[in-house]
C-alpha cells in the first residue's frame, strides 16, 4: 500500500495496513539543532523519516494587500513589519514564537467596508499555479498524499483585526463578523476553483484554524456554532464537491468544539494538544470513527528526553487506537521544538513502527 493509498483510506475512516505518519517541526529544530545531533545534512524529512503526506504549495495570499510587507524597525534579535493585512507585528528573527500585536489597520466595520471589495474578485497575484502544479507533481512522484492548505476564518480575523477587536466583536458587532466570514468564504471558493483548474487537484485539504486557548474555547460552543459553523459547512462542502477530504488543524483545548467539527463535516482532527487537556483516546471513545485523528503525542513528554516517559506516552495511545481500530496518523500534539533531541524523536518513530500496525 502506498502512502497516498494509506492516508486516503484513513481519511475515509477505513483501516489500512498501518497507521499513518506525519510531522511538523519548528523552523529551527532541524537546521540549527538536529544537524549537530546526527541528522544528515540536506535530507528532506519527508524522505528521511518516511512521512505519508506532504503539503504541495497552494497557500493563498488572503491579505487585503497581497504581496506587500514593510519593514518598520529592526534589531539583531527582532523586527517590526506591517504585513499585507495592515497588521503591525513584532517577530523574533532567529527563533519561532507568537508575534507581538502592535497595531491594525482594520479596527471597525468602517475600515472593513472600505477594503472588503479587494477580496471579492479573482486575483491571480494571490496564488502561484505553476509552482503549485510542480509541487503537486513532486509529492505525487514519491507516492505521498498531497495536500493544499490555508488559514481560515478565525486565523484571518485574528490576523486582520487583532484579538482585542475581533473577540469583543463576536458579541457586539455580529453582522460585521458574519460579513467578514461570508466574504472570505467567497474568496476561497473563487480562488481555489481557479487554482484547481490551473494546477490540478490535490488529494486533500489542510485547513489551519485555532479554536481554543490552553484552558478552553475563545467563546461558548453556542456562539461559535452561530458565528462560524455555517461557513465551515459551506467551505467543507465546497472542497468535498471536488472529492477532497478536509483535515482541520486546531490548537488549544477544543474538547467542547468537537461536536461542531463533526457537524461541519471535517474528516480529520489535528493536532489535539495534550498539554491543553485533549486526549485522542477519549475522543475515539466518544466519537469513534466519525473522525480520523492525527497527533496528540505530548511534546511536553517528548522534550523531557526521558525514554521511559516517551514510551509510556506513545504506547498507551497507539495500543488503544489499534485495539479500537480507529483511523489514526502519528504526529506530535503540535510540532517538534528544538528541545526534543534528535535521538528522542528517532526513538519515538521506533515505537511507532513497533506498535503502529493495525
User: Contact at 8 Å (CB) between 67 and 84?
Assistant: yes
Residue 313 predicted with pLDDT over 80:
yes
- Calculate mean pLDDT across residues 269-296: 97
| Residue 154, pLDDT score | 97
User: Exposed, middle or buried by CB within 10 Å (0-12, 13-18, 19+), for 38?
Assistant: exposed
Residue 97 has pLDDT above 90, yes or no: no
Q: How confident is the model at residue 116 (pLDDT cuts 50, 70, 90)?
A: very high
* Least confident residue range of 2-16, 86-100, 302-316: 86-100
* Mean pLDDT lowest among 88-97, 145-154, 176-185, 250-259: 88-97
The residue-averaged pLDDT of 123-141 equals 96
167, 78 Cβ separation under 8 angstroms: no
Per residue in 219-240, pLDDT tens?
Answer: 999 999 999 999 999 999 999 9
Q: How far, in Å, are 22, 24, 130, 258 from residue 141 at the CA level?
A: 17, 21, 17, 35
SS3 273: coil
Q: How far apart are CA 306 and CA 299, in angstroms?
A: 12
User: How far apart are alpha carbons 138 and 130 in whole angstroms?
Assistant: 12
Place 94 in a pLDDT band, splitting at 50, 70 and 90: confident
- The domains of the chain are located at 3-64+106-355, 67-105
pLDDT at 93: 84
Higher model confidence: residue 249 or residue 91?
249
Give yes or no for a contact between 207 and 166, defined as CB atoms under 8 angstroms apart: no
pLDDT > 80? residue 274:
yes
- 58 has pLDDT over 80: no
Report residue 40 as a C-alpha cell.
544528515
pLDDT of residue 98: 83
The domain defined by 3-64+106-355 folds into TIM Barrel (3.20.20)
pLDDT above 90 as % of the chain: 92
The alpha carbon of 120 is separated from its chain's Cα centroid by a whole number of angstroms, namely: 25
Average pLDDT over residues 71-93: 91
Residue 321 has pLDDT above 90, yes or no: yes
For residue 95, what pLDDT is reported? 81
Amino acid at each position: 500500500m502506498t502512502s497516498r493509498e494509506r492516508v486516503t483510506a484513513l481519511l475515509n475512516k477505513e483501516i489500512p495496513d498501518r497507521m499513518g505518519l506525519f510531522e511538523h517541526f519548528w523552523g529551527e529544530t532541524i537546521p540549527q539543532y538536529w544537524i549537530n545531533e546526527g541528522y544528515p545534512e540536506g535530507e528532506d524529512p519527508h524522505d528521511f523519516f518516511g512521512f505519508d503526506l506532504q503539503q504541495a504549495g497552494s497557500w493563498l495570499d488572503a491579505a487585503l494587500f497581497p504581496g506587500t510587507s514593510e519593514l518598520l524597525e529592526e534589531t539583531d534579535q527582532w523586527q517590526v513589519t506591517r504585513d499585507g493585512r495592515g497588521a503591525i507585528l513584532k517577530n523574533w528573527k532567529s527563533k519561532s514564537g507568537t508575534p507581538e500585536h502592535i497595531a491594525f489597520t482594520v479596527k471597525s466595520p468602517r475600515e472593513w467596508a472600505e477594503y472588503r471589495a479587494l477580496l471579492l474578485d479573482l486575483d491571480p497575484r494571490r496564488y502561484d499555479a505553476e509552482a503549485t502544479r510542480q509541487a503537486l507533481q513532486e509529492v505525487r512522484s514519491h507516492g505521498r498524499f498531497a495536500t493544499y492548505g490555508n488559514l481560515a476564518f478565525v486565523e484571518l480575523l485574528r490576523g486582520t483585526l487583532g484579538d482585542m477587536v475581533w473577540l469583543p466583536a463576536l458579541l457586539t458587532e455580529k453582522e460585521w463578523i458574519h460579513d467578514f466570514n461570508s466574504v472570505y468564504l467567497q474568496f476561497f471558493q473563487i480562488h481555489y476553483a481557479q487554482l484547481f483548474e490551473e494546477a490540478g487537484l490535490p488529494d486533500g485539504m489542510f485547513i489551519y484554524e485555532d479554536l481554543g486557548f490552553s484552558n478552553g474555547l475563545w467563546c461558548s460552543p453556542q456562539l461559535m456554532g452561530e458565528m462560524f459553523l455555517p461557513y465551515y459547512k459551506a467551505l467543507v462542502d465546497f472542497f468535498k464537491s471536488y472529492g477532497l477530504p478536509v483535515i482541520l488543524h486546531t490548537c488549544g483545548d477544543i474538547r467542547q468544539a468537537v461536536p461542531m467539527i463533526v457537524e461541519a463535516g471535517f474528516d480529520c482532527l489535528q493536532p489535539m494538544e495534550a498539554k491543553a487537556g485533549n486526549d485522542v483516546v477519549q475522543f475515539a471513545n466518544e466519537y469513534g470513527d466519525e473522525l480520523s485523528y492525527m497527533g496528540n503525542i505530548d511534546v511536553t513528554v517528548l522534550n523531557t528526553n526521558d525514554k521511559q516517559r516517551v514510551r509510556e506516552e506513545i504506547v498507551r495511545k497507539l495500543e488503544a487506537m489499534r485495539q479500537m481500530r480507529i483511523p489514526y496518523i502519528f504526529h506530535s500534539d503540535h510540532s517538534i521544538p528544538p528541545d526534543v533531541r534528535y535521538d528522542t524523536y528517532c526513538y519515538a518513530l521506533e515505537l511507532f513502527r513497533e506498535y503502529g500496525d493495525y
